[in-house]
A and B are shown apart, each in its own frame.
Chain A
Amino acid sequence: SQQGEEDPQALSIQEGENATMNCSYKTSINNLQWYRQNSGRGLVHLILIRSNEREKHSGRLRVTLDTSKKSSSLLITASRAADTASYFCATWPATASKLTFGTGTRLQVTL
C-alpha cells in the first residue's frame, strides 16, 4: 500500500533553530497532511495541502508540495522546546478513500 516515508527518522536541534522534515510518497494524491504526536498522546492535525497547491503557511509552519517529485517538506521556524514531538505525514491517494501515514520524524528541541 502507498505510504509516506519521512526523512530524517530523528532530528535534534537547539531552540531557536529551524527544523525541516521531508516526506516522500509513491502515487498521485488528492492532498497531503501533517500531524504532530506528543509523547503518550494522540495525533493532532497541523496542516493540509491540496495537490494543486505548492506552498502553505500556518503560524511558524511552512509546508511545500512537489507533485512532480512526489515529495513534501515541513519547516518549523524558530523552534521551541514545546515543538518536541513526532511528526507524521499522511497522504490521501487519488484512487483510495483512506489516509496512509508514514513512520514519522522524531524531533527533539533542546534549550
Chain B
Amino acid sequence: NAGVTQTPKFRVLKTGQSMTLLCAQDMNHEYMYWYRQDPGMGLRLIHYSVGEGTTAKGEVPDGYNVSRLKKQNFLLGLESAAPSQTSVYFCASSYSATGLAKNIQYFGAGTRLSVL
C-alpha cells in the first residue's frame, strides 16, 4: 500500500519553463490537496479538489493550475515558472473534508523545485 506518491522528487527549472507535478493516491480518498512549504511560513494551500473532475483555489493559487481527471490522480501545473515558485511542494489526500475525524490528511514525500 503506497499511500500518496509524488513525482518527481526533485526538479530544476529555468524561468519561463513549464512542468507538471503528479500526485497519486491509492486509498480511494475523495479529497486531494496541493501545498507549498517555504521556510518560516508553514504549509500554504495552493489548490484542492473535493472529487473527480472538480478543483478549487486555495490560499496561494496564482501561477498554478490543477486537474483531477481521475479520482486517484491530482496534477499541479506551472505554466511559466518564476523564481518565487522555488519551494517544496506537498500533495495530500483525505477521506472527506468534514469537521469529523475523517478529514485527517495523508501526505506524499514532497517535490523539491528550484527555479533559476
* Interface residue ranges, A against B (CB under 8 Å): 1, 3, 30-31, 33, 40-45, 48, 50, 88, 90, 92, 94, 97-104
Contacts and interface: CB of A to CB of B under 8 A. Distances in A.
B99 A103 contact: no
Contacts of A1: 59
B108 A31 contact: no
Interface of B: 4, 33, 35, 40-43, 45, 48, 58-59, 90, 92, 97-101, 103-110
Contacts of A50: 101
Contacts of B33: 98
A3 to B, nearest CB: 7
B90 A43 contact: yes
Contacts of A98: 33, 45, 48, 58, 97
B40 A103 contact: yes
Contacts of A103: 40-42
A53 to B, nearest CB: 11
A84 to B, nearest CB: 18
Given A31-B99, A33-B104, A98-B97, A88 B109 contact: no
A104 B48 contact: no
A31 B98 CA distance: 10
A45 B105 contact: yes
A46 to B, nearest CB: 10
A102 B104 contact: no
Contacts of B110: 40-42
- Per CB-CB distance, the 4 closest pairs between chain A and chain B, nearest first, are A30-B99, A42-B107, A103-B42, A101-B43
